[in-house]
């Protein structure tokens, strides 16, 4: 009895930092293994080996999660506190070295020990050191790492599936809701004013962009409908493809009627790793299509299976004669891994050819767009749950794993489309394609009939050079550099200031020289300069937002001013 009690106490200590329901599940599994060991016949070391196996299984799980250096049930306030501690620890690491190269190398080693990736090689030494001693940088990294660790543990313990926590664990769902609540509270209480003395809350400004789910969904459907219009006019073929990961990447297998059973082939792949696998397959599809002279345009949507493993939907258009070859390429590369497993040929790459007589391409994909954004006009998802509710879980899943849900394939760049909306009027004499694109992107009210003309993605794509224009689009975003220096002592990246294109210069009185010369047309967009007049606070129970230059950087600067040899040589200037 004493031995059993000791084992229980030891196991309880191992899981002390886990969420309560996880503790019960882990301890229950451990004690079940111990009970099974007790039933073994004595002798030949079987009982001892079983005890050791049970202990090793528990240590493997808890040890992997202990590397996170944060309790799995840590609050956001805990993350922020730990971020400040790590920033100070990184600064202490810098004090023991005497060259800037050694300082950076020492800090990078410390960052990796905390399960984060240090700044990349392209970042200057000064910028890298500034980041690794910045609590804001640590906070962002710790949040992402902690979220993935929590969700990865939930998947490993079997919580994420259709019979328990659909798409994402309840812990990650609660974390995402808290984050949304915190951000909403801050944005609603932050007031901004521009140079025209127009004052809005940050929430009101955010609601005017694609962060607004209704606007995001509307823009996606506008672009899809525009591609469809071009496909119909050009008599192109439409394909709807669904590609999934190999069986070994799925933790659970559906058995019908809502039942699931654990997949014994599961190799521990996380949703993020599965997303990277799909991306690697598609990265081989694209050049293969190019080699065959097959141009495609459309959209890709990523969404989760019930156990969190992603799968992709493609709505693609191409010349009718290329449809079969395109499907062959997709099958070749998405079935290269484990092609002979049961059901691979049927389920791993599904193809449906769009019949224009039966319905529109937008109709094929509308429900996938809606249920991955806000669930509007979709009653239930694939598993019979209200789409309005499950869309929140899908969004939490994408946020946790850093998965891009929607991606345009081919066509003209959407960045120029959005920038053109900032251009109020076209200058006199502007090239026709620039005027056509500007007219297409804006939703305007007709002068004669009073009807509203919707934005025309098809017209915009044609003005840019067509669906296969690629990087050769006629109109591009113009950028300008302010010459400012950012918080880490690096030059601020150039910012958009309008659009630019190439046109033919015409002279007054309609006289055009024999050799017309090309000029660059630059059209400025309207961009307001905003200032904070009232800084918001986060929702009750959460830590306040970080403002200004962080304390760690300020401390380093003070130390450098006092002791030039702080980092050896002439010191490291962090501005």
DSSP assignment of 24-85 equals HHHHHHHHHHHHHHHTSPSSTTHHHHHHHHHHHHHHHHHHHHHTTSS-TT--HHHHHHHHHH
Compute the distance between CA of residue 418 and CA of residue 216 in angstroms, rounded to an integer: 12
Kindly state the tokens that stand for 434: 């620039």
The dihedral region occupied by 112, where left means phi > 0, alpha psi between -120 and 50, and beta the remainder, is alpha
Compute the distance between CA of residue 160 and CA of residue 244 in angstroms, rounded to an integer: 18
Secondary structure letter of residue 251 according to DSSP: S
Compute the distance between CA of residue 393 and CA of residue 252 in angstroms, rounded to an integer: 18
Contacts of 175 (CB under 8 A, 6+ apart): 76, 147, 150, 396
H helices of 423-567, in order, are: 432-441, 457-464, 551-562
Secondary structure letter of residue 386 according to DSSP: B
Kindly state the tokens that stand for 9: 């106490």
Angle at 394 between CA 391 and CA 398, to 5 degrees: 140
User: Do 488 and 552 contact (CB within 8 A), yes or no?
Assistant: no
Angle at 237 between CA 331 and CA 375, to 5 degrees: 80
Place of tokens 């509710």: 389
H helices of 341-404, in order, are: 361-371, 387-401
User: Do 311 and 305 contact (CB within 8 A), yes or no?
Assistant: yes
Kindly state the tokens that stand for 473: 């689009």
Kindly state the tokens that stand for 570: 């002439």
How far is residue 521 from each of residues 356, 501, 505, 518, measured CA to CA in Å? 40, 5, 9, 9
**β-bridge partners, 184:** none
Residues recognised as catalytic? 364, 368
Compute the distance between CA of residue 228 and CA of residue 239 in angstroms, rounded to an integer: 11
């Amino acid at each position: 009895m004493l031995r059993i009690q000791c084992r229980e106490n030891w196991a309880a200590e191992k899981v002390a930092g886990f969420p309560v329901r996880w503790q019960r599940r882990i301890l229950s599994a451990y004690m079940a293994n111990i009970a099974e060991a007790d039933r073994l016949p004595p002798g030949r070391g079987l009982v001892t080996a079983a005890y050791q196996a049970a202990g090793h299984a528990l240590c493997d799980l808890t040890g992997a999660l202990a590397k996170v250096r944060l309790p799995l049930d840590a609050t956001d306030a805990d993350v922020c506190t730990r971020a400040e501690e790590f920033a100070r620890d990184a600064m202490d690491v810098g004090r023991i070295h005497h060259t800037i190269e050694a300082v950076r190398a020492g800090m990078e080693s410390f960052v990796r020990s905390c399960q984060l990736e240090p700044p990349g090689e392209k970042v200057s030494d000064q910028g890298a050191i500034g980041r690794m001693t910045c609590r804001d940088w640590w906070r962002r990294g710790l949040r992402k790492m902690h979220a993935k660790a929590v969700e990865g543990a939930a998947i490993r313990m079997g919580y994420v599936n259709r019979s328990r926590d659909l798409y994402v664990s309840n812990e990650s769902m609660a974390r995402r809701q808290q984050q949304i609540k915190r951000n909403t509270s801050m944005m609603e209480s932050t007031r901004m004013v521009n140079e025209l003395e127009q004052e809005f809350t940050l929430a009101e400004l955010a609601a005017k962009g694609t962060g607004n789910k209704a606007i995001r969904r509307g823009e996606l459907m506008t672009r899809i409908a525009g591609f469809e219009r071009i496909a119909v006019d050009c008599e192109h073929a439409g394909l709807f493809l669904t590609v999934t990961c190999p069986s070994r990447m799925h933790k659970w297998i559906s058995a019908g009627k809502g039942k699931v059973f654990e997949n014994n082939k599961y190799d521990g792949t996380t949703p993020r790793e599965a997303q990277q696998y799909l991306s690697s397959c598609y990265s081989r599809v694209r050049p293969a299509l190019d080699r065959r002279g097959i141009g495609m345009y459309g959209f890709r949507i990523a969404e989760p299976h019930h156990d969190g493993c992603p799968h992709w939907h493609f709505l693609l258009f191409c010349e009718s004669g290329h449809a079969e070859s395109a499907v062959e390429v997709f099958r070749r590369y998405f079935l290269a891994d484990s092609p002979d497993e049961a059901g691979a040929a049927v389920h791993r790459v599904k193809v449906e050819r769009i019949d224009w007589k039966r319905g529109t391409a937008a109709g094929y994909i509308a429900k996938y767009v809606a249920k991955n954004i806000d669930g509007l006009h979709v009653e239930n998802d694939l598993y019979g749950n209200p789409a309005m509710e499950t869309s929140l879980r899908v969004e939490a899943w994408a946020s946790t794993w850093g998965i891009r849900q929607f991606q345009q394939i081919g066509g003209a760049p959407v960045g120029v489309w959005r920038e053109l909306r900032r251009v109020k009027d076209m200058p006199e004499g502007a090239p026709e394609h620039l005027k056509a694109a500007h007219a297409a992107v804006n939703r305007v009210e007709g002068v004669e009939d009073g009807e509203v003309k919707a934005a025309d993605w098809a017209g915009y794509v044609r003005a840019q050079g067509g669906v296969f224009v690629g990087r050769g689009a006629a109109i591009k975003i113009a950028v300008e550099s302010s010459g400012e220096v950012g918080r880490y002592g690096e030059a601020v990246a150039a910012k958009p200031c309008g659009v630019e294109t190439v046109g033919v210069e015409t002279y007054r009185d309609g006289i055009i020289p024999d050799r017309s010369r090309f000029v660059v047309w630059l059209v400025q967009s309207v961009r307001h300069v905003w200032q904070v007049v009232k800084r918001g606070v986060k929702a009750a129970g959460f830590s306040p937002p970080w403002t200004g230059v962080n304390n760690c950087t300020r401390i380093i600067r003070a130390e450098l001013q006092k002791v030039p040899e702080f980092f050896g040589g002439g010191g490291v200037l962090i501005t």
